[in-house]
Amino acid sequence: MKRSILFMLALVCAISTQVVAAGTPPVELSSKPNIVLLFSDDAGYGDFGFHGSVHFKTPHLDQLAASGVKLSQFYVTGATCGPSRAGLLSGRYQQRLGFEEINVPGIMSENSKLLGDEMGLPTDFSTMGNYLQELGYRTAVFGKWHMGVADRYHPLKRGFDEFYGFRGGARSFFAYSNPKKAKHENLIERNFGNYKEHEGYLTDALANETCAFIERSKDVPFFTYVSFNAVHTPMEPDPKDKGEFPQLEGKRRQVAQMTLSMDRACGQIINKLKELGLYENTIIVFSNDNGGPMDKNGSSNYPFAGVKGTQLEGGIRVPGLISWTGRLPAGAVYDKPMTTLDLIPTFVKAGGGNSDVLEGLDGVDMVPYLTGANKGRPHQTLHWKMETRGTIIDGDWKLLRFPDRPAELFNLAEDPGEQNNLATEKPELVKALFKKQFAWELELQRPLFMLRRQEEGWSARRADEFRVPPSASY
* 403 pLDDT higher than 60: yes
The verdict on residue 199 lying in a domain is yes
Domain that holds residue 357: 34-381
| Number of domains the chain is built from | 1
Query: What stretches of 244-373 show up as alpha helix (H) in DSSP?
Result: 250-275, 313-316, 343-350, 367-371
The verdict on residue 341 lying in a domain is yes
Phi-psi region of 176 (alpha: psi -120 to 50; beta: other; left: phi over 0): beta
Average pLDDT over residues 190-211: 97
The verdict on residue 431 lying in a domain is no
**In residues, how long is the chain?**
474
The pLDDT assigned to 387 comes to 87
The verdict on residue 328 lying in a domain is yes
The verdict on residue 220 lying in a domain is yes
HSE-CB for 280 with a 13 A CA cutoff: 5
Tell me the helix, strand and coil percentages in the chain, rounded to 5.
35, 15, 50
The pLDDT assigned to 102 comes to 67
d(CA 242, CA 141): 29
d(CA 348, CA 131): 7
Q: Higher confidence at residue 225 or residue 6? A: 225
Cis peptide before 403 (omega within 30 of 0): no
The pLDDT assigned to 274 comes to 98
Contact present, 286 and 265 (Cβ < 8 Å): no
The amino acid present at 87, given as its one-letter code, is G
Contact present, 339 and 74 (Cβ < 8 Å): yes
The verdict on residue 362 lying in a domain is yes
The lowest-confidence range among 143-147, 229-233, 467-471 is 467-471
Work out the angle between the directed axes of helices 202-216 and 250-275 (0-180°, nearest 10): 10
Average pLDDT over residues 246-269: 98
The pLDDT assigned to 466 comes to 55
Q: What 3-state class would DSSP assign to 294?
A: coil
The lowest-confidence range among 10-24, 65-79, 111-125 is 10-24
The verdict on residue 68 lying in a domain is yes
- pTM, whole model, 2 decimals? 0.90
Whichever domain contains 65, its CATH number is 3.40.720.10
* 111 pLDDT higher than 90: no
Residues 318-350 have pLDDT tens digits of 999 999 999 999 999 999 999 999 999 999 999
The verdict on residue 161 lying in a domain is yes
The pLDDT assigned to 100 comes to 84
DSSP E strands: which ranges in 228-380?
A: 282-288, 317-318, 320-323, 332-334, 338-339
Contact present, 97 and 354 (Cβ < 8 Å): no
Average pLDDT over residues 214-239: 98
Percent of the chain surpassing pLDDT 70: 85
* 19 pLDDT higher than 80: no
DSSP secondary structure string, 172-185? -SS--SSGGGS-GG
The lowest-confidence range among 97-106, 167-176, 207-216, 449-458 is 449-458
Residues 368-391 have pLDDT tens digits of 999 999 999 999 999 999 989 999
* 462 pLDDT higher than 50: no
The lowest-confidence range among 64-68, 103-107, 136-140, 277-281 is 103-107
Q: What is the CA radius of gyration of the chain?
A: 22
The pLDDT assigned to 469 comes to 55
